[in-house]
């Protein structure tokens, strides 16, 4: 069905994005790791941890789209696809992946807690700024670094590690 009206989000980022877009009524299930926005935990049933899911509960909610993230959820995605559920899996693990594959407007990196912020807009700026070394504008339209493969330009940024232990879900 297009547009999807019954969405299950197995990551916090997709839940938060849909709430920010005012589309929270389309969400019918969330991950147990979701803490933002806080009302999502009160309003939506939890159907998964990060690497495991209650497939029966997901199916009972009759989603027309399930949003997943990373190869860590590949088994969940495979199971759902085999059962005829539409699944979209995101797998961006680097700044390069975000820049090359997500329709962000602005992306900023901050020194405190190694935080970053992704901004969305109808008319995206497609600009990345860093407040940690190297400071300044890393890329924007018109810069040579804006087009093509960016993996070398951002090789100094930390990579997501599959071996990193996952914290327990928030009760």
Distance CA 83, CA 123 (A): 37
The verdict on 105 and 120 lying in the same domain is: yes
137 in any annotated domain: yes
CATH number, domain at 28?
3.40.50.1980
The verdict on 26 and 69 lying in the same domain is: yes
Q: Is the pTM of this model over 0.85?
A: no
The verdict on 86 and 105 lying in the same domain is: no
164 in any annotated domain: no
Number of domains into which the chain is organized: 2
The verdict on 67 and 103 lying in the same domain is: no
**Residue 148: how many CB atoms within 10 A of its CB?**
9
Provide the residue-wise pLDDT of the chain in tens; the chain has 171 residues. 678 999 999 988 888 878 877 889 999 999 998 988 899 999 999 999 989 999 999 999 999 999 998 788 999 999 999 999 999 887 766 666 666 666 666 777 676 656 667 776 777 788 888 887 778 888 888 887 777 766 665 555 555 444 545 555 555
102 in any annotated domain: yes
Burial classification of residue 135, based on how many CB atoms lie within 10 Å of its CB (0-12 exposed, 13-18 middle, 19 or more buried): exposed
Q: Which residue range is the domain that position 135 belongs to? A: 95-146
């Amino acid at each position: 069905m297009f547009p999807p009206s019954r969405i299950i989000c197995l990551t916090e980022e997709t839940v938060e994005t849909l709430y920010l877009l005012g589309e929270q009524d389309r969400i019918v299930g969330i991950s147990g790791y979701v803490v933002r926005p806080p009302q999502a935990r009160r309003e939506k049933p939890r159907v998964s941890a990060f690497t495991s899911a209650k497939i029966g509960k997901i199916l009972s909610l009759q989603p027309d789209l399930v949003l997943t993230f990373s190869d860590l959820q590949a088994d969940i995605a495979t199971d759902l696809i085999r059962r005829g559920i539409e699944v979209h899996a995101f797998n961006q693990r680097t700044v390069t992946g975000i820049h090359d594959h997500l329709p962000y407007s602005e992306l900023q990196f901050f020194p405190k807690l190694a935080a970053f912020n992704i901004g969305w807009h109808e008319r995206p700026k497609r600009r990345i700024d860093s407040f940690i070394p190297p400071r300044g504008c890393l890329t924007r339209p018109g810069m040579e670094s804006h087009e093509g493969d960016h993996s070398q330009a951002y090789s100094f940024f930390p990579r997501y590690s599959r071996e990193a232990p996952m914290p327990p879900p928030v009760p």
